[in-house]
Structure 1
Amino acid sequence: MIISCNKKITNQNYNESLLYFQNKNKKLVSHFPIKKNLLSKYSVSVDTSAYFNTESLNITITNAKEEIERIKKENKYNLYKITDPCIVAVNDFIKEDNFPFIDDDPQNNNYHTTYSENCRNKNYKIIPNFWGAIYGKDSKIKNNLSSNFKYIILDSNTETIYSDKIRQDISYMPAFINHGYSKGVAFNEDENIIIYWVVLW
């Protein structure tokens, strides 16, 4: 299922989504805020259907200036921009405009995630494709978020797979990062938006 919610209907969905990923491994969503700490506006996007062989959970919070400042102080040496050659966006070929028309049939080999050969030491950092984002969207950027966003990768592993819905014989990612998970935070100081994410591929 893929759900996008606003605050009026999201409380139950958010808790259920957290539990879904906690049941795979608690550390996957250990960085997500608890409900009582959510700020004035937020939206939840969850994919548990393994579309294009991924599962993900994002929560977007607006009016999040104080939260952004806290996150920056805690992770000031661990910031990335989308222009970093080591950043890879999961399944970056998916855009909101083409989503209804592309087929995730395993026999379809037309879709491949792009990456740069200029990554120093080949230490690639994986972030989600936020094609379904409500706030801060820019479809011209490879992960569909404004270039004003910065990224904190809190944990990433390209070997462990926590979901039995993800087929190990299929991947739309580069061969050296066929499968894995990543969790972290994206934030935009210009618009005071923060996004907590976890993605499995």
Structure 2
Amino acid sequence: MSTKITGILLLLLIVASCNSQTSGEFWFLEKDKNYDRVKTAFQDYVSFFPKRGDAYSISDTWSLDSNTEFNIKSVFEFKSEQFKEALSTIRKSSIAEYPSDAECLLVLNRFATHSNYGYPKKHEIDHNIINLDCYKDLYPIPNFSNFSSYQTDETEPKLQKEFNIYVLEAKTGRFLAEEDITKGLYMPEEWKHGYSKGVAVNESKKLMIFWVIIW
């Protein structure tokens, strides 16, 4: 076999291996083949999501909106023992825990609601609450509006009060390609751009929402 053919075969094997690894990480999205851009955007951030066989995928949503954020949120249901193990791991590795009905939370795209679909009108934007003193020691979390049956307008993150929100990692800075950098709307200056990832947990229903937000 010539050196040229050997090189081509080796390249194909490398590409196939990379594609296989990416598909494995995004097993919960495999039912749809039009997720290439989503996988590219989040492939470096979803290693903490459940592996195939560890949980049941219930639903997922994602957005690649250059005005506000890139996000992916996926709901998983666990069996009792697997839920306990996952929750223990999350608690040990989290850097913050917030009740979803806490009075002060740093919510990305906080003015998005079920009715405005993430595009608030001018009268819905309250500039007085974009940079409050109580945000100082908080990490950004998602807005869960328009997300399945778990959303509510009664809490700041638009997530039912039965959920606790765990932040696993959050950093300021630019983590998107230059052409994808968002406008950082409705965020304090120190969190103008960044990323955050974590899990929202409903213990009574043994549900977990794994999420990543980049803006």
- TM-score > 0.5 by shorter chain: yes
| Greater relative CO, 1 or 2 (CA 8 Å, sep 6+) | 1
Aligned twin of 2:186: 172
Aligned Cα RMSD in Å? 3.1
Q: Secondary structure at 2:155's aligned position in 1?
A: coil
Identity fraction in percent: 21
Aligned twin of 1:88: 106
1:109 Cα deviation (Å)? Answer: 9.8
Contact 1:86 1:125 in 2 (8 A): no
2:90 to 75, 94, 98: 75
For the pair shown, the structure with the greater C-alpha radius of gyration is 2
Matches within 5 A, 1:4-43: 11-13=30-32, 17=35, 20-24=37-41, 26-39=43-56, 42-43=58-59
Q: Secondary structure at 1:118's aligned position in 2?
A: helix
- How many residues get paired? 182
Structure 1 residues 89 and 189 mapped into 2: Cα distance closer, same or farther (>3 Å)?
A: same
> What CA deviation, in whole Å up to 9, does each residue of 1:79-130 have, x standing for no partner?
3323556631111111111228636xxxx797356464235xx222111101
Give distance in 2, aligned partners of 1:154 and 1:91: 20
Aligned twin of 2:152: 138
> What CA deviation, in whole Å up to 9, does each residue of 1:37-63 have, x standing for no partner?
441x5111011233x421111111235
Q: Indicate yes or no: 2:74 matched with 1:56.
A: no
Aligned twin of 2:200: 186
Aligned twin of 1:44: 60
Give distance in 2, aligned partners of 1:101 and 1:152: 26
For structure 1, list consecutive stretches of 5 or more residues without a partner in the other structure: 1-8
Q: Secondary structure at 2:31's aligned position in 1?
A: helix
Give the TM-score normalised by structure 1: 0.74
Contact 2:55 2:79 in 1 (8 A): no
What letter corresponds to residue 152 of structure 1 in structure 2? Y
Give distance in 1, aligned partners of 2:42 and 2:148: 27
